[in-house]
């Protein structure tokens, strides 16, 4: 036991070298030096649990992990599991306990998921760097993130968007189609929207978006009109439906997209409503692989994010009113303009050709 004051100070300053990994994970998540959002923290917690299981298989901890072990862990993520797992997977207790699972889209985990795993480890070592009683180490330095190959997802053309607007259906799914295009937000925000969030006089929609960010959309005049038409229809429905009427009477439960039982429409149902309308419009129709979103065995590639991409593509590439990419990025509320470029609004070839052919000194 330390006796002198100097010894006590030395004890207080000594790095913790034998902290259990799961305790470190809980600390890093709770303190959150990187200011990660709730969903990111939940994802990191799962990834770090896998890291801990792999390291335990090799007699390692976050304190003793070295760069070569980081590279080996990342390599093991890329290999296949299944009934005859790759040799690198056999060396992981976490994988063995779960039957050597694979990613969602084939053998091994995707480059995107592996990149997320590396980010989780760097999140942990950010915690190390900020806590005086932990060693200032980071074995993830100089380890390259997996290279992502961006495959652009389906994006409706302006003609297809108009076809979706004009398709037959209830006022509720027509509003959703117009809304998801002219206010290109994320699926959950449509599910969560209450009438108190929407000011039809000022033409605004207040949103709690990704990462609990407070946001506001200015509503296109065509969308304001759709809201008014839809509200009249919803109130007419509520006059004959006590549960809808009671829900609309309370600002906390006055959902814009409301079920017949007076409850908010869940995100999965928001997607189904858009897909079913797109099937009726004949837009991006494909065979359904399950019954949950099928209309006569058919579904569509259309989704809230597809409508979001459609708006971004039209805004950037409109020959008469093209918007700068920084404006498009701001509308989509992207933290990084590169996200807008990669996933939502790549410049079309004709714009590039036009720029080259019409430039003058």
Whether the CB-CB separation of 105 and 141 falls below 8 Å is answered with no
Helix axes 158-166, 267-281, angle to 10 degrees: 100
Cα separation of 320 and 328, whole Å? 16
Q: How far apart, in Å, are the Cα atoms of 69 and each of 55, 75, 76, 100?
A: 8, 10, 10, 19
Q: Which residues pair with 207 in a beta bridge?
A: 215
Residue 265 DSSP class: P
Task: Quote the pLDDT of residue 265.
Answer: 96
Task: Quote the pLDDT of residue 142.
Answer: 93
Walk me through the domains of the chain, giving residue ranges and CATH numbers: 5-130 (no CATH), 158-347 (1.10.443.10)
Please compute Rg for the chain using Cα positions.
Answer: 26
Task: Quote the pLDDT of residue 348.
Answer: 60
Confidence (pTM): 0.67
Whether the CB-CB separation of 154 and 161 falls below 8 Å is answered with no
Q: Which of 21, 22, 31 is closest to 130 using CA atoms?
A: 31
Whether the CB-CB separation of 285 and 299 falls below 8 Å is answered with yes
Task: Quote the pLDDT of residue 330.
Answer: 86
Whether the CB-CB separation of 236 and 230 falls below 8 Å is answered with no
Per-residue pLDDT of the chain (361 residues; tens, 9 = 90+): 555 665 544 444 556 667 899 999 999 999 999 998 888 999 999 999 999 999 999 999 999 999 999 999 999 999 999 999 999 999 899 999 999 999 877 789 999 899 999 999 999 999 999 998 899 999 999 999 998 776 778 999 999 999 999 999 999 999 999 999 999 999 999 999 999 999 999 999 998 766 666 788 899 999 999 999 999 999 999 999 999 999 999 999 999 999 999 999 999 999 999 999 999 999 999 998 876 666 678 999 999 999 999 998 888 888 787 888 888 888 888 877 877 877 776 656 666 666 667 777 7
Task: Quote the pLDDT of residue 8.
Answer: 46
């Amino acid at each position: 036991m330390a006796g002198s004051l100097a010894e006590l100070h030395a004890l207080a300053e000594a790095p913790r070298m034998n902290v259990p990994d799961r305790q470190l994970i809980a600390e890093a998540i709770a303190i959150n030096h990187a200011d990660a959002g709730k969903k990111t923290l939940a994802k990191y917690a799962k990834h770090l649990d896998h890291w801990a299981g792999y390291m335990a298989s090799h007699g390692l901890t976050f304190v003793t992990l070295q760069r070569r072990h980081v590279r080996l862990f990342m390599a093991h993520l890329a290999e296949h599991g299944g009934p005859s797992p790759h040799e690198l997977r056999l060396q992981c207790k976490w994988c063995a306990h779960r039957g050597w699972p694979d990613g969602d889209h084939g053998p091994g985990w995707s480059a995107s998921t592996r990149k997320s795993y590396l980010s989780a480890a760097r999140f942990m070592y950010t915690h190390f760097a900020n806590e005086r009683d932990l060693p200032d180490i980071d074995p993830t330095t100089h380890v390259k993130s997996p290279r992502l190959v961006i495959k652009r997802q389906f994006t409706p053309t302006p003609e297809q968007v108009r076809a979706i607007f004009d398709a037959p259906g209830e006022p509720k799914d027509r509003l959703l189609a117009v809304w998801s295009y002219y206010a290109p937000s994320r699926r959950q925000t449509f599910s969560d929207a209450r009438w108190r969030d929407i000011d039809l006089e000022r033409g605004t929609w207040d949103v709690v978006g990704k990462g609990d960010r407070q946001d506001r959309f200015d509503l296109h005049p065509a969308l304001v009109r759709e809201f008014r038409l839809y509200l009249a229809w919803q109130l007419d429905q509520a006059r004959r439906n006590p549960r809808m009427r009671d829900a609309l009477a309370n600002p906390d439960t006055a959902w814009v997209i409301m079920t017949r039982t007076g409850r908010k429409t869940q995100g999965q149902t928001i997607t189904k409503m858009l897909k079913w309308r797109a099937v009726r419009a004949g837009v991006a129709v494909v065979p359904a692989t399950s019954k949950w979103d099928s209309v006569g065995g058919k579904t569509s590639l259309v989704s809230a994010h597809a409508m979001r991409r459609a708006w971004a593509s039209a805004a950037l590439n409109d020959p008469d009113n093209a918007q700068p990419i920084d404006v498009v990025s701001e509308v989509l509320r992207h933290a990084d303009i590169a996200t807008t470029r990669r996933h939502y609004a790549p410049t079309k070839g004709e714009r590039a050709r036009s720029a080259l052919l019409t430039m003058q000194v």
